Structure 1
């Protein structure tokens, strides 16, 4: 059994149509390269410390929380006019909260250990993806009709991080409705990559990736239903972890998910330094943290390692860049040399249907049989559903409130069959079985975070299915950590995602620590 002629025709028609749309886009809305293609280097040493190091220094009174928060505010004010990552700040409130932290430490009689146990992030600044509710902050997700909507409470993982002592500096840019892998919308504008302002920071957590990659934040929070944590983290040279589903709460985010989509979304940490991933995940998981056994030590020498260099050459997905293939090969070589393990290269044929599997499962109904809300209905709120072809005409006249990416999603939805393909369902079932047998309880897989280096702005419109490399991991329900691996010859971040068995997040986080030590982790874009 294979894809039907109709399904192959749909894919071909969509590729041709996307090419025409992209050509129109370049003609009608040409992108002008940024005047400055890089950022100034980080000069304040406080900005070069992990969140764990900062919290320790604050607790020991070696530095005040006010000094730390001021350092990050100054960096944001320097770089944000170039990257457009932070869309609303709360600097005054953050400084007041930092002063309260310093007062608490001065008056505390419990000692550093007590503070560390109760408030592990005490006084450390953090940035929050704008799709999460943060009390008093916008929660529009780049949607024009939600301009002025403010959150009246905190999303559960945000509340847990604040309760641990973290101080939010503001909220960061996303793609429109968080449904595209470039953070661009008509409410806040486009977010730039800190390593090259003419390139995308990714999406939908692109603002988080950019502010972290620029050295203007040390920890952040993102969400991921098709790669929205891992792709921005990859493009911006930082660490990002897609958690095992059902561990970190996804409540109080916009937009609401429907159908079976909640089964495949994960909220998780985004960090410049690998050592912050595990403590952040422990805090964000709240009462579910025990399910991950994060306190159990991981001996990398006792794990089995596998490497898949590409998806098997899907005809609708770009070939993996040779520099990424080479970087993943170097990881294999170092693992074998340093740990004495044997990394087995494997190929799973079903991976080349990654997009089709993701797209099919995003359209399935929930357990009560209720189908997901169509994109056209969501994009048309608060009025009638959006008509994609008419919206293209409105966009060409400059009258559409939506980005071309949002319109394209509605067009792709139009080509979907009303019934899921039996072939695609079978491919997913086979892949699920193969991954479970491959990984077991001690298997670790290296797989590209994306087939290309950070694309130039708007180019994702011409390669709309490239997120399949991350999206398929969502559908399989597996945790995955994106890890930076240095820079390409163009000065752009290289990276790889590390995939492990469900609820074995601690294994990929341990590998992230090793890769940071081995390949250097995040690089200051101003000094790169």
Structure 2
């Protein structure tokens, strides 16, 4: 990145680090959301489906309980933008009746409809018939989907019951879920903080905000540059970005036919429980023609664990929080927690652990991690030559407004669009602050990093890496823009990646966790 820009960010970071604690001091923590008290909210989707199949509980009971929880917490976090509760109850009742009549046996349901009767929440950018499908932008106010996206069809065919659609940044253009149509979604652990984006509304599930508030058990998000993993980090849930191309993305809004857009974008699961990730991936990839080896057990005797604790520490970059660096190391050492013998060798740290017949090798990332990794992460998306139209005109949604005019209007609060979206669109349209030669240069480096990681990880390597720097306040969202690179780099190189929650930090009680990447 241009040194002038880095110097600007250095100054901004100093101001940010001063203002953040001052803002928190004068804005005390609001009342907490109502705690989870019902045991049903503590069951995974996998267990709920099993209990429904075996008649221990009805789908109607589960659906009604989650509707009740959504109504209980949504006034605190503002995650749901449109609901289909009445239709969901009817569908659940029909499912219960089919079971009572013996239309399906348990084995058939387990194999063909593994989510039978389980409620699910879905990001608003994904078409759910009869629900809001506006991109959360004012010019599209009132538009509802008249069809189900392919991914929603697959979930319905597997027995899932959509309850609602959840909030996003305007046109998914940012990583704080706020817009002028539905407002801001707040973090369920502390509503002063961001729920992340662009799948932030899913926190209900602790899927984003809704998932995090216990208002959902499983949800669907989309990921272009961390839009599943960042909200998962913010709200303390699991979020998985699959390899692009294995899950259909039709029905996503905004949309474009640009090949790079499709290379970076994918739908993925967000869950409160780890065991539900595999179940959802099987459903969501049911039409994939590739052998994804989802049922192949992991051989822990052969696995290699690599880790890196931070993005980089060059000028203009906010440092990774110590608690996240500790998380990464703790996750790596988890595989060597008995009779650990550690030895540091320059940039390689070898940790061997023997427990009976299992041996793990934990290695600090032994390949060169370029200091230009942020530049690489930010420029890679500028290869999208035909980005979707983002700044739409209310009188003609197919017409694209003048960006410069809208940015001037936004300074005085007169624009129909958020500053976050306008900044995002500016980068796509002007490529500021990069030149075309710089974009080409860094794109070549992306390929080199990808090849190095492919050679390093092979078929049995895992890279543990930070998901995000720390929890952030929505008022300072643009100050954390470089932290997105932690996730974005893996969209660029095409690796699957998952966020894994690791509890709460001590001083704020906010979620922390790490990102797991593999080939």
Please list the CA deviations of residues 383-432 of structure 1 after superposition, one character each: whole Å capped at 9, or x if unmatched. Answer: 443333x4343223221111121122244443244514243133212211
TM-score by length of 1: 0.86
Give per-residue Cα distances to partners, 1:4-61, cap 9 Å, x unaligned: xxx333454577689999999xxxx999958734211111111110001001111111
C-alpha distance in structure 1 between counterparts of 2:68 and 2:249, whole Å: 31
Kindly state the Cα deviation for residue 81 of structure 1 after the two structures are TM-superposed: 0.3
Q: Distance in 1 between matches of 2:121 and 2:437?
A: 39
Change (3 A) 1:286 1:374: closer
Q: 1:492 corresponds to which residue?
A: 510
- Secondary structure of the corresponding residue to residue 283 of structure 1: helix
Match in the other structure for 1:401: 416
Relative contact order (alpha carbons < 8 A, sep ≥ 6): 1 or 2 greater?
Answer: 1
**Quick check: 1:158 aligned with 2:164?**
no
SS at match of 1:342: strand
Q: How does 1:67-78 map to 2 (within 5 A)?
A: 67-78=61-72
How do 1:96-115 and structure 2 match up within 5 A?
Answer: 96-108=90-102, 110-115=104-109
Q: Do residues 243 (structure 1) and 242 (structure 2) align?
A: yes
Match of 2:4 among 1, 4, 9: 9
Cα contact 2:98–2:104 (8 A) shared by 1: no
Task: State which of 361, 380, 384 in structure 2 corresponds to 1:361.
Answer: 380
Counterpart for residue 441 of structure 2: 423
Counterpart residue number, 2:489: 472
**Alpha-carbon distance between aligned partners in 2 of 1:470 and 1:69, rounded to the nearest angstrom:** 33
- TM-aligned CA deviation for residue 169 of structure 1: 0.5
Asked if structure 1 preserves the Cα contact closer than 8 Å seen for 2:139 and 2:392, the reply is: no
The answer to whether the 8 Å contact 2:228/2:240 transfers is yes
Alignment of 1:54-133 (within 5 A): 54-108=48-102, 110-133=104-127
Superposed CA deviations along residues 145-175 of structure 1, whole A, max 9, x for unmatched, are 0111111111111110011000000000001
Partner Cα distance (2:323, 2:334) in 1: 16
| 1:317–1:463 Cα contact (<8 Å) kept | no
Asked if 1 retains the 8 angstrom alpha-carbon contact of 2:314 and 2:371, the reply is yes
Q: How does 1:205-220 map to 2 (within 5 A)?
A: 205-208=199-202, 209-220=208-219
State how 1:179-190 maps to structure 2 within 5 Å.
Answer: 179-190=173-184
Quickly say closer, same or farther: Cα 1:110–1:464, change in 2 above 3 A.
closer
Between stretches 353-362 and 255-264, larger displacement belongs to: 353-362
Work out which of the residue numbers 428, 435, 438 in structure 1 matches 2:456: 438
TM superposition shift of 1:299: 2.0
Contact in 2 for aligned 1:125/1:218 (Cα 8 Å): yes
How many correspondences in the alignment? Answer: 488
CA distance in 2, matches of 1:308, 1:261: 28
RMSD of aligned alpha carbons: 2.8
TM-score (norm 2): 0.88
Tell me, yes or no, if the aligned pair for 2:6 and 2:315 is still in contact at 8 Å.
Answer: no
Q: 2:364 aligns with which of 333, 345, 352?
A: 345
SS in 2 for 1:152: coil
SS at match of 1:341: strand
1:180–1:40 CA distance, 2 compared to 1 (3 A): same
Q: Is 1:138 matched up with 2:132? A: yes
Query: Counterparts of 1:56 and 1:258 in 2: how far apart (Å)?
Result: 40
> Matches of 2:85 and 2:171 in 1, distance apart?
26
TM-aligned CA deviation for residue 376 of structure 1? 6.9
Contact 1:355 1:471 in 2 (8 A): no
CA distance in 1, matches of 2:77, 2:370: 34
Q: Deviations over 1:299-341 (max 9, x none)?
A: 2232111011112324343211101111221112221125531
Instruction: Could you tell me which runs of 5 or more consecutive residues in structure 1 were left unpaired when the two chains were aligned.
Output: 366-370, 502-528
CA positional deviation for 1:458: 2.2
The alpha carbon displacement at 1:354 in A equals: 3.4
**Residue 456 of structure 1 pairs with residue 473 of structure 2:** yes
Question: The residue matched to 2:501 in structure 1 has which SS?
Answer: strand
Show structure 2 runs of 5+ residues with no match.
203-207, 339-357
Note closer, same or farther for the CA distance 1:31–1:215 as it changes in structure 2 (3 Å cut).
same
State the partner residue of 1:517. none
